[in-house]
Each structure stands twice: as C-alpha cells, then as structure tokens.
Amino acid sequence: MRILFSSLGLHGHTYPLLPLAIAARELGHDVTYFTGAAFANALTSHGIEHIVGGMDLREAFAIANGGDAEVKPQDADPDRIAAAFTSVLPRSFAADLAPVIAEHKPDLVVHELGNPGAGLAAKVAGVPGLCHSFGRMWQADEFAASTRGHLLAVAADLGVEIPEDDLMGLGNPYIDICPPSVQQPEFLASATKRIPLRPVPFAEPGELPPWVLEHREPLVYLTLGTAFGEAGVLRTAIDGLAAVGTKVLVAAGPTVDVNALGELPDNVVVLPWVPQADLLPHVDLVVHHGGSGTTMGTFGAGVPQLILPQGADQFANAAVVTEAGLGDQLLGADVTAEAITAKARHLLADEAVLGAARAIADEVAAMPSPRDVAATLPDYV
C-alpha cells in the first residue's frame, strides 16, 4: 500500500508522526513523507522517501502579518495566528501537494492536526485520509471564529466540504497519541473515529554523555524546545536547578547560543542538542517548556515535570500536567531561580507526584504500539 504522510516543518509537528511512518515502512508499505528539508536525514535513514516541501512557519506568519517578517509567532495577534495556521499554511500545502498526490497516487494520506492543507489536498483528489495528533486535542478557543471562517473558506475554494465540528481534523479518523486520562474530556465524549496510539518519543541518533548512563545522584533534564527558547529564561532555570544540588543536563536547542549563557555552575552541563528520546528513561525530573512532544515523552518515561510555558499549546499542557498531579508549572513573573529551586526540590521528593507519573507511564505502555496501528492502516482505504 502507498501511504503519504505530511506535517508542518516543525519538530513538534513532525516527530510525533515518525514512529507510525517508520512502523508502516517496516511492515512493507511504500511510505512517502512531505515536509521541510530539516527532516531529510530522519526520514531517509529509515527508508522513507522524503519530498521536501511546505511553507515555513515564519513565512506564513509574515504573510498573515501583511508582510512583516519581524513579528515572532508568540507575539502575533490571535487573529493573525489563526490566519497563518488555518488559511496561509493550508492553502500552501494543498497547492503544493496536489501534484505530489497526482504523481505518487497514494492509497492513504496521513496528515497531522496542524496541517489540514494536506488533508484537504487528499479530499480534492478523492484519497482517504487520517488525521494524526501531535499531543492533546487542539482547541481554537480564543480565535475559534477566525479559525472556522478561514478553513471553511479554504475548503470552499477547493470545492470540498468539511464538518464544522471537526475543522482541523476534516472529519477524518483521528490517531490520538494522548493518554485518555489527560485528554480533553469533551473530545473523548464526542469522538466517534478515534484511533489510540502510544506516544513514542523520536530522536535522531546521537550519543549520550557516558555519565548520564552511570549517574548515581538524581539527574534533572532542562530544555525549552526548538521554537521558543530564550537565553534569559534558560539561564534563570539553570541557576535555579543548580541550587538544587543535582546533576543538570541542558539542551540549549537551536534558538539559544550556548555561549550566551555565560559561565556555568559545576553541576550543570549544557549541550546544543541531545537525543531526547534516549535521555528521558535516565532522568528524575524534566523541566521544560510544555511542548507536546516533551510532555508526551515524559508521560511515557514516568517522571515528574516542571513546566515553564513560553507559547502556543504549552500553557494548556502545563495546566493539565499540574491538574493531574503529574508535576507543576511556573508562569510569567513567577519564573525565578528561587521558585524553580523550590519547585524542583519538591517534585523530586513528592511521593504522590512520583506515583502519578509512574501510573501514567503504565497507561502509555498499555496503548497500542506504532506497529499495532500500522498493521490496521489498510482498513482505512
């Protein structure tokens, strides 16, 4: 069977789909993946054909902001955010994927939730589609009206109909990587075509420092992800965690210059990048931005989380982690070194949080594996 996957060219939107794409390829399906150039090695190393394409998110925001390329996504007006995700990007992906679908003739298209343009291209071509989540069900609360208007207009221009109660998913069966205990209750109550899938962290191959595997004292992992990381916030978190007295491993990410962090405490190691999927089983606390990939991966690792949300869905993820007793959060002016020290010490010792983290890890382990779900994909053709 020929399967075409497509996601926005962002790590948080692409990595969650890769375990299923890889499993489908290992089962003998012909798998093609349409996304940005940054993922070439991750895809081709697993025998997946990579077609480079899709508009860059910053370009989409510049268009939505009337050509202003200086506005950061986290600073954009909500209506402009809606326009970027539900008009500019869907139109671009639908147009770019039309010739790809015509040439490759896939039997099935798997699009991630943030990329309805790929699903719309499949509908235009009459190809069945599946919508793949990247975390909890996304809710367009603050700009719901803008989202509805934009996507319905795009669909109308393409000559297809989409259900108003499932605009981003387009009414397609929904591959859900979120454990039910922390999923949107309203979504679980209304979902009729939900396909559970274990959230399996993905990372490109890399070596962990030997001391990570051998460490005896508690190990804290700190990351602000690949999109919203800022040196000032990261340095504050480093100072706070260094005072806890544990070993701290920091992934600076692509948005932070390691040299900008200054002199580091002796118990802190900063690297530009770490293979996060390989690291998570070895840590005792994850301090992070609340990105869906890190949040879901930490669920599977069964360790507490301290979340310092910076933008997008990170605030909602921080809230649900806190409400579920799986960790804690710090927001805005509360993000101080002293507060991070206190929260981290508490989370490393709180048996209730540790128990809740282990319980959700068991829940994740019981979900269908990527290979299990890949074996069912022909059922949706």
Q: What pLDDT score was predicted for residue 142?
A: 46
Asked whether residue 161 falls in the same domain as residue 237, the answer is no
DSSP string, 99-132: HHHHHH--SEEEEETT-HHHHHHHHHHT--EEEE
Do 122 and 222 fall within a single domain?
no
Q: Counting beta carbons within 10 angstroms of the beta carbon of residue 2, is it exposed (0 to 12), middle (13 to 18) or buried (19 or more)?
A: middle
Q: What is the pLDDT of residues 294-307, one digit of tens each?
A: 999 999 999 999 99
DSSP 8-state symbol, 209: P
pLDDT for residue 143 is more than 60? no
What local confidence, expressed as pLDDT, does residue 215 receive?
81
Give the pLDDT confidence score for residue 313 in this predicted structure: 81
User: CB–CB of 134/13 below 8 Å?
Assistant: yes
| 21 and 128 fall within a common domain | yes
167 and 29 co-located in one domain: yes
Residue 377 lies in a domain: no
What pTM did the predictor assign? 0.92
Q: Are residues 233 and 154 in the same domain?
A: no
Q: In the prediction, which pLDDT does 144 show?
A: 61
Q: Which helix (H) or strand (E) segment is 251 a member of?
A: strand 247-251
Beta bridge partners of 109: 4, 129
Same domain, 76 and 187: yes
Tracing tokens 């790929």 back to the chain, one arrives at 118
The C-alpha atoms of residue 267 and residue 271 are separated, in whole angstroms, by: 13
Of residues 143 and 353, more confidence is placed in 353
Give the side-chain half-sphere CA count within 13 A for 14: 21
Does residue 181 sit within a domain? yes
> For the chain, what percent of residues have pLDDT higher than 70?
94
Q: Are residues 237 and 181 part of one domain?
A: no
pLDDT of residue 78: 67
Q: Is 137 within the bounds of a domain?
A: yes
The Cα 335–Cα 314 span in angstroms is: 15
Number of domains in the chain: 2
DSSP string, 152-186: HHHHHHHT----TTSTTTTT--EEE-S-GGGS-HH
SS3 label, residue 144: helix
* Residue 217 in this model has a pLDDT that exceeds 90: no
Q: Which domain holds residue 59?
A: 2-197
Q: Convert the pLDDT of each residue in 14-38 to its tens digit.
A: 999 999 999 999 999 999 999 999 9
The dihedral over CA atoms of 373, 374, 379, 381, expressed in degrees to the nearest 10, equals 130
- Based on the domain organization, do 180 and 267 belong to the same domain? no
**Same domain for 131 and 218:** no
